Structure 1
Amino acid sequence: MSKNPTLLEVSGVSVTFDGFRAINNLSFQIGSAELRAVIGPNGAGKTTMMDIITGKTRPDTGKVTYGRPGKNLLKMNESAIARVGIGRKFQRPSVFESQTVFDNLIMALKKSRSPLDVVFYRRDDSDVSKVEKLAAEIGLADQLQRLSGELSHGQKQWLEIGMLLAQDPQLLLVDEPAAGMTPEEREKTTDILRKAAETRAVVVVEHDMEFVRRLDCRVTVLHEGAVLAEGSIDHVTQDQAVIDVYLGR
């Protein structure tokens, strides 16, 4: 058996919006503990790809399977997909700004969410321990009692990544995490994502090539809704087709 079995398989997926083919026979695989960067020009299909994986968009054709045995994600709604272990971070951070960092993380912990469970929830030492461990992992151990609205843009991004990690996803989709960050924040973000990918799959959609290079992972290049090239950052940046449609711009 492979050391890193396939977690997600997208096979022959196509979707058309008003005559425009946003995804065109797209196929790729993600391993169960892997960091993957997805790059490509605007309109390449990066956001639509994430929408399909998370159930927001239904493709016209193709298959998307997840886990072992493979679950057919195309038969599941968005909340069911989230429950089986797929988390998504959008470009703009979305945190509860009037709550502390600690409260944001404790609310995000993977728990039963029935109305009775929520009403009678009492935090225990193991929950506090999980939050403290998560806060250390995302570089916010010394910010736990701070209101989230007071954090810097980069810190809010880390907090949202932490809130997703609190759900214990096996696949994490992250959209342009480096946007608007200082160089120091970007370096820390690289560390957070690389650490997270030791125990789960992390797919990062990004435009910043310096950030992608620092991730030091396999890169998938999308163009016109299909895979144009795949491999190391050095391999794809030397690919003439990638230079022509993306890097040369």
Structure 2
Amino acid sequence: MTTLLEVSGVSVSFDGFKAINNLSFRIAEGELRAVIGPNGAGKTTFMDIVTGKTRPNEGRVTYGEKSVSLLALSESRIAQMGIGRKFQRPTVFEDQSVADNLMMALKKDRNPLAVLLFRPKAADHARVEALAGEIGLADALHRKSGELSHGQKQWLEIGMLLAQEPRLLLVDEPAAGMTLAEREHTTDLLKQAAKTRAVVVVEHDMDFVRRLDCKVTVLHEGSVLAEGSLDHVTQNEQVIEVYLGR
């Protein structure tokens, strides 16, 4: 499989504390990957580095067929290159309808004049309806986003990211605060999304990770402790010690 994202020898310190310590791993094109680890393992910092929010002290982060370095690029440029990130708390435009949120997120020319003059075409409306169907909100297209449940807002935000057609989707703890039924729908949604792009999911909920049924990377103290199937990593003595607890 072609490597889409490569993190190589990356370290970053905050006030002398090494949040990421010589971190190296690869994500393949069209791969679904779960990243787990105890609090403070560096999971969020890893996503901050990939999306340009945090600059590492050393190491390389390259993306795409041409191995473009992400470290010299702004957050907005990285997003334009096809890397989408979903934070833990859903951020949707609550006064706007589900359809409006998805329409605003469609991949379009973002210069001020183009935005001002934008008028949706039939193809745009069709894309919005298709996205709503994908995320399970087809019946809620005309509802205000603020009226949605926590889980539905998470799905809407995932839909808004999918509207931008990313090649790599980074998702931070999507199962937090969801009902069991919502969690199940979310795993199905992420597995479906990974059929056409790479999806990296940072998660604490082990049942959720098991349902994803994908390769797992365990982080500890800012570096990779173990990698493989969930069964493989949960039988690792070091993982049991630092993460699962004896």
- How would you bin the TM-score normalised by the shorter chain? over 0.9
1:151: which partner in 2?
148
Using structure 1 for the length normalisation, give the TM-score: 0.98
1:16 aligns with 2:13: yes
Q: 2:57 aligns with which of 27, 37, 60?
A: 60
Give the superposition deviation at 1:116: 1.2
Task: Give the Cα separation in 1 of the matches to 2:24 and 2:116.
Answer: 44
1:28: which partner in 2?
25
Give the superposition deviation at 1:118: 1.0
1:97 aligns with 2:94: yes
1:170: which partner in 2?
167
2:226: which partner in 1?
229
Task: Give the Cα separation in 2 of the matches to 1:129 and 1:74.
Answer: 37
Using structure 2 for the length normalisation, give the TM-score: 0.99
1:116: which partner in 2?
113
2:77: which partner in 1?
80
Q: Say which SS state the counterpart of residue 89 (structure 2) adopts.
A: coil
1:184 aligns with 2:181: yes
Task: Give the Cα separation in 2 of the matches to 1:50 and 1:119.
Answer: 32
Q: Say which SS state the counterpart of residue 22 (structure 2) adopts.
A: strand
Task: Give the Cα separation in 2 of the matches to 1:142 and 1:224.
Answer: 44
**One-letter amino acid of the structure 1 residue matched with residue 45 of structure 2:** T
Q: Say which SS state the counterpart of residue 71 (structure 2) adopts.
A: helix
Unaligned runs of 5+ in 1: none
1:209 aligns with 2:209: no
Unaligned runs of 5+ in 2: none
Q: Say which SS state the counterpart of residue 74 (structure 1) adopts.
A: coil
User: Where does 1:105-144 land on structure 2 (aligned, <5 Å)?
Assistant: 105-144=102-141
Deviations 1:54-74 (A, max 9, x none): 000000110000001111000
**One-letter amino acid of the structure 2 residue matched with residue 158 of structure 1:** W
Q: Say which SS state the counterpart of residue 23 (structure 2) adopts.
A: strand
Indicate the RMSD between aligned Cα atoms, in angstroms. 0.6
Give the superposition deviation at 1:36: 0.3
1:247: which partner in 2?
244
Task: Give the Cα separation in 2 of the matches to 1:221 and 1:143.
Answer: 37
**Which of structure 1's runs of 4+ aligned residues deviate more than 4 A?**
none
Give the superposition deviation at 1:109: 0.1
Deviations 1:70-128 (A, max 9, x none): 11000101010000000100000000000000000000000001111111111001001
1:199: which partner in 2?
196
Q: Say which SS state the counterpart of residue 234 (structure 1) adopts.
A: helix
Q: Say which SS state the counterpart of residue 75 (structure 1) adopts.
A: coil
Give the superposition deviation at 1:131: 0.5
Identity, % of aligned positions = 74
Q: Say which SS state the counterpart of residue 246 (structure 1) adopts.
A: helix
Deviations 1:167-213 (A, max 9, x none): 00000000000000000000000000000000101000000000000
Q: Tell me the number of residue pairs that the alignment of Structure 1 and Structure 2 aligns.
A: 246
Task: Give the Cα separation in 1 of the matches to 2:117 and 2:17.
Answer: 50
**One-letter amino acid of the structure 2 residue matched with residue 191 of structure 1:** D
Task: Give the Cα separation in 2 of the matches to 1:33 and 1:108.
Answer: 22
